[in-house]
Structure 1
């Protein structure tokens, strides 16, 4: 169990990502920073305290190990090297292209494209590896209606999204075309948040079902 007595406030992890070399990157919400440790719980470094205001989600690029953190307090996505050097941020508060209203989940594709769940704007925004806006998708009808997206996970073909107010698990093509709703009303998801994919083919979709206090696994 990780405990850090030298931090100003108790360690309060909000999200975690694991790099290709099996290093753990945890978001410490109480101290507004990223904590990096190995699988034996040894702390390697921590960073982001100078920039982060209220971090929500973290993703690591499979291309070069770049670390992306959604910062609710800064209305942006902050970008760091794997060693914790601050590179840049992109986004601002608003409803326009490249702007955010409560940026939540973030995921990076095998080609370096960055997908961000823009929660209160009820859409997913897509950026290239240079942080340039490419497109967004915000299905607003039928089973694919996207209301307050939170968690996001991607594979080489599809984007998987958990939504808050409609409490559903949605699947889209990377272009934004709605494919299907994976869960059903009888599954009883209640405020699903974090989401991850297994390496199976087809993959299993693992969801943190927050208000039901459990993890649920869906097979496509």
Structure 2
């Protein structure tokens, strides 16, 4: 794969797309409401170069959804925006997977800066699959380099602080931070495509392994086998320390307590059936928001997994999702390589 030239921390003078939701836009929990997982393994990233700075493109729909981005290599563009998170300061942080970088924007879609996802110690470029923020405002990014997989901690300005070496699996990972316990949680999938097994690895920031949730056990009962994760990707931790994992191989959402005890799973049938569940997050009320990728939906469940309602059904291939402190919902779209703020 050709090496990409990059500019780090480039700033773009853009005109923010300011939108003003009307008083008639309803609130679900704390999420402002506007009006698939790929069926095959993720293809190899295209070879391209990051060119000169380009202003972020955006448009504002009549349903009070702000959309910005589009496919490309220039700042403000994306190639497979695989993950998104939002800081307490309202910064949208996007893992731009095939461009091997993190990009940062305001909630109005204005480009702020970018940095390459380089692994400390060797300078390898890493394709990021997920990003999360810890209690100190640092970023944890999981991804794959040419011959290895890592979790790397960066400052928000892009300086690599430390890394955790991970097992080479060749499959995407998710990452979340339990700020109450100061733990870093990562999903891991092993095995071939006909016999996948998923786990959640729980680490301290120094790389010490605390526990493995869902560890494979040949003697496990049939009930436990039915509850097991098959191909987990995204993961989130709510305000009470509970953990939710989207399993695109099962497909369902698994819920665990903060100490790794299985609580429940949902999404297998009925109106709330999940097909290709991907991004997952929670709002301030504890509701669970899930990207139902193959159905092109973003849906809301309560903290017990009971279906509440469809948030949006108007995206082509939604992928990752995050909530902002002011109630906005931020969703990435893989087909259009865009970010939607609702």
Task: Say if 1:118 and 1:148, in contact at 8 Å, map to a contact too.
Answer: no
Question: Using the alignment, how far apart are the partners of 2:201 and 2:255 within structure 1?
Answer: 15
Task: Say if 1:108 and 1:114, in contact at 8 Å, map to a contact too.
Answer: yes
Deviation string 1:57-111 (CA, Å, 9 cap, x unpaired) is 101011x100000011111100011111111100116xx5211110000001121
Question: Using the alignment, how far apart are the partners of 2:334 and 2:171 within structure 1?
Answer: 22
Question: Using the alignment, how far apart are the partners of 1:40 and 1:76 within structure 2?
Answer: 31
From 150, 153, 164, the counterpart of 2:319: 150
Structure 1 residues 87 and 139, CA gap change in structure 2 (3 angstroms):
closer
Structure 1 residues 138 and 12, CA gap change in structure 2 (3 angstroms):
closer
Task: Say if 2:177 and 2:183, in contact at 8 Å, map to a contact too.
Answer: yes
Deviation at 1:11, TM superposition (A): 8.8
3-state SS of 1:152 partner: strand
Deviating beyond 4 angstroms after TM superposition, the runs of 4 or more aligned structure 1 residues are: 9-13
Q: After the TM superposition, which of the residue ranges 84-93 and 38-47 deviates more from structure 2? A: 84-93
Structure 1 residues 169 and 101, CA gap change in structure 2 (3 angstroms):
same
Question: Using the alignment, how far apart are the partners of 1:70 and 1:29 within structure 2?
Answer: 12
From 204, 229, 243, the counterpart of 1:67: 243
Specify the alignment match of 1:26 in structure 2: 186
From 60, 73, 77, the counterpart of 2:253: 77
Hey, which of these two has a bigger chunk of strand by percent? Answer: 1
Instruction: Map residues 8-27 of structure 1 onto 2, 5 A cutoff.
Output: 10=169, 14-21=173-180, 22-27=182-187
Deviation at 1:114, TM superposition (A): 0.5
Specify the alignment match of 1:121 in structure 2: 295
RMSD (CA atoms): 2.0
Question: Using the alignment, how far apart are the partners of 1:89 and 1:55 within structure 2?
Answer: 13
Question: Using the alignment, how far apart are the partners of 2:170 and 2:318 within structure 1?
Answer: 26
Structure 1 residues 75 and 155, CA gap change in structure 2 (3 angstroms):
same
Deviation at 1:10, TM superposition (A): 5.0
Q: Which residues of structure 1 form unaligned runs of 5+?
A: 141-145, 173-220
Deviation string 1:12-32 (CA, Å, 9 cap, x unpaired) is 661100012321001112251
Deviation at 1:117, TM superposition (A): 0.4
Which of 1 and 2 has higher RCO (CA within 8 Å, sep 6+)?
A: 2
Specify the alignment match of 2:54 in structure 1: none
Question: Using the alignment, how far apart are the partners of 1:3 and 1:13 within structure 2?
Answer: 15
Structure 1 residues 10 and 120, CA gap change in structure 2 (3 angstroms):
closer
Q: Which residues of structure 2 form unaligned runs of 5+?
A: 1-162, 191-196, 217-227
Instruction: Map residues 17-56 of structure 1 onto 2, 5 A cutoff.
Output: 17-21=176-180, 22-30=182-190, 32-49=198-215, 51-56=228-233
Question: Using the alignment, how far apart are the partners of 1:10 and 1:118 within structure 2?
Answer: 25
